[in-house]
Structure 1
Amino acid sequence: MFRLNQYKFKEEYTYYMLQALKGGKKEAFRKDFLDLHPTDQMQFFIELDEDRRLRVYSFLSPEEFGEIFSELDAFMQRKCIVELERDYAIEMLNELPSDDATDFFGLLSSKEADYFLDRMEKEEADDIKQLLRYKKGSVGALMTTDVVTVTVSDSVADVMKRLRHSESHAETIYYLYVTDANNVLVGIVSLRELIVSDPERQMGEIMNSQMISVSADTDQSEVVRIIRKYGLLAVPVVSQKNMLLGIVTFDDVLLLSHKQ
């Protein structure tokens, strides 16, 4: 992956991607396009006309296009959702991080939102419905529910195996959240701690039980302050009974800061 603005033949690289689109050369386009940094993928996409955008949809999987969709502004998201085939759009929405999906659903009318939610996977739809209930400007409206949780008895080896094979859609894996049988947050394990620990050790042995957390009704400006003050990559969001509800990530805070 590289940034297009650092590539000395930017115009030539862009030209070949456009030619691949025009000529229906799917594999050639995918090779060049998917090598780009996501920001450059988005910038390339928004400069296309409708015919070329339709070709991009056909060349990328719903999950791959979801990476671009999440970065688009509200105007372009509305334009794309109209252009996409219904089944493709629904599959893409299923793959989006819950916070990104919730931001998009906030743009829709109740009727439009219900159409997609009724056709999405139940677990994904339920997460979005829950996030939509939180007051605008609160941490709950900003958080994602895509979180990696482990138990105190999980071994380092088992958790590493999970991360390699089944946690690719989590918002972040820099922190792992240790919960009990009732989903109460009892500790946090950093990815660094996981990597350097003996494979046979358990999460309860290496976790940090001294955690900074926030509630879902905390003002978003407060979580911005906390992340900046303590240099955190993510902050867990918990209920009054300390049940893990989700996390707010550093990149979400950066986006929020830019909007303020």
Structure 2
Amino acid sequence: MIRLNQYKFKEEYTYYMLQALKIGDKESFRKDFLDLHPMDQTTFFMELDDDRRFKIYSFLIPNEFGEIFSELDPLMQKKCILELDRQYAIEMLNELPPDDATDFFGLLSHKEADFYLERMEKDEADDIKQLLTYKKGSVGSLMTTDVVTVAEADSVADVLERLQHSEFDAETIYYLYVTDAKERLLGVISLRELIISAPECRMEEIMNSRIISVSANTNQTEVLQIIRKYGLLAVPVVTKEYALLGIVTFDDVLFYM
């Protein structure tokens, strides 16, 4: 991955990407552009005029553009969504992490939001609808529902194999959460603990059952204090019955403070 601010020939690198856009050289553009760090992709995109932005849409598949879309400011997101082909936009929104998608839907009118939610995949739309019900400034409005959950009886070897084959749909993996058949949270396992444990160990043997969690109505200031006090990277969000709703990460909390 290339970071343009560390790249010796930044102006030359940018020039060739612009040339590839101008002449419609999709293959060359994709090769150079997708090698960039996501933040540099976003910066490059933000500096383009209307015609070149439309070229970007045609050169990238929806989930690739979604990486850029998540980093855009709200006004630019609204501009882009109007420029995108409707089906392309729907596919992109399906691929966004639920918390990022929810932030965007919070910008839309009820009519606009309903248009996309009715056409998105049901599971993705349901997650967003649920997140939109939480009060702004609460943990529920910040959390993501993309969480890695495992069962007590799962072995270390099985879980590692599933991680290696990307069977878990999660934006960020700091911890694994052990749940029962009713999705109640039983324990937490750090990625480090998983890696250093014997392959035959079961999740119930290595999990930490002394769980630090919050409710969806916890405010951002309180969860930030918890994260700092216990040195956590993410905190599980649970119901009164201890059903796992999602997680809130330290960077999400800091971003909105």
TM band (smaller chain): over 0.9
CA contact (8 A) 2:147 2:169 kept: no
**What is the CA distance between 1:9 and its match in structure 2?**
1.0
Counterpart in the other structure of 1:6? 6
Q: Deviations over 1:35-81 (max 9, x none)?
A: 11111110000000111111111111101110110000000000100
Counterpart amino acid of 1:127? D
Contact conserved, 2:148 with 2:169, CA < 8 A, in 1? no
Query: Which structure 2 residues correspond to residues 147-186 of structure 1 after superposition, within 5 A?
Result: 147-167=147-167, 169-186=169-186
Distance 1:248 1:171 in 2: 11
Partner residue in 2 for 1:83: 83
Q: What are structure 2's unaligned runs of at least 5 residues?
A: none
CA distance in 1 between counterparts of 2:5 and 2:169 reads 28
Aligned partner letter, 2:58? S
- Relative to structure 1, is the Cα distance of residues 168 and 53 closer, same or farther in structure 2, using a 3 angstrom cutoff? farther
Deviates more, 1:160-169 or 1:53-62: 160-169
Q: Secondary structure at the match of 1:170?
A: coil
Distance in structure 2 (CA, Å) of the matches to 1:6 and 1:74: 28
Q: Give distance in 2, aligned partners of 1:85 and 1:12.
A: 32
Count of equivalent residues: 257
Q: Report the residue type matching 1:206 in the other structure.
A: I
Could you tell me which amino acid in structure 2 is paired with residue 254 of structure 1?
Answer: L
Distance 2:59 2:229 in 1: 43
Q: Distance in 2 between matches of 1:183 and 1:146?
A: 14
Deviation at 1:253, TM superposition (A): 1.8
Measured after TM superposition, the shift of residue 168 of structure 1 is 5.8
Who is 2:44 aligned against? 44
- Aligned position for 1:94: 94
1:176 is paired with a residue whose SS is strand
What's the offset of the Cα at 1:100? Answer: 0.2
1:97, 1:169 within 8 Å by CA — same for their partners in 2? no
Residue of structure 1 in register with 2:68 after alignment:
68
Please name the residue that 1:145 is paired with.
145
Distance in 2 separating the partners of 1:59 and 1:96: 18
Counterpart of 2:201 in 1: which secondary structure? coil
In the alignment, the residues of structure 2 paired with residue 12 and residue 46 of structure 1 have an alpha-carbon distance, to the nearest angstrom, of: 18
Which is further off, 105-114 or 172-181?
Answer: 172-181
Query: Is residue 205 of structure 2 the alignment partner of residue 205 of structure 1?
Result: yes
Match of 2:226 in 1: 226
Distance 1:192 1:112 in 2: 43
CA distance in 1: counterparts of 2:140 and 2:170, whole angstroms = 17
What is the CA-CA distance between 1:254 and the residue it aligns to? Answer: 2.6
Partner in structure 2 of residue 126 of structure 1: 126
Q: Tell me the secondary structure at the aligned position of residue 199 of structure 1.
A: coil
Letter in 1 for 2:2: F
* Contact 1:148–1:176 (CA under 8 A) maintained in structure 2: yes
**Range with bigger deviation, 65-74 or 3-12:** 3-12
- Give me the identity figure in percent: 76
CA contact (8 A) 2:162 2:168 kept: no
Normalised by the size of structure 1, how large is the TM-score?
A: 0.96
Once residues 144 and 99 of structure 1 are traced to their aligned partners in structure 2, the CA distance between those partners, rounded to angstroms, is 5
Counterparts of 1:168 and 1:46, CA distance in 2: 32
Residue 192 of structure 1 aligns with which residue? 192
Alpha-carbon distance in 1 for matches of 2:200, 2:110: 50
Is contact 1:155-1:202 (8 Å) kept?
A: yes
- Tell me the secondary structure at the aligned position of residue 187 of structure 2: strand
Unaligned residue ranges in structure 1 (runs of 5+): none
Secondary structure at the residue paired with 2:232?
coil
CA distance in 2, matches of 1:199, 1:239: 32
Corresponding residue number in structure 1 for 2:28: 28
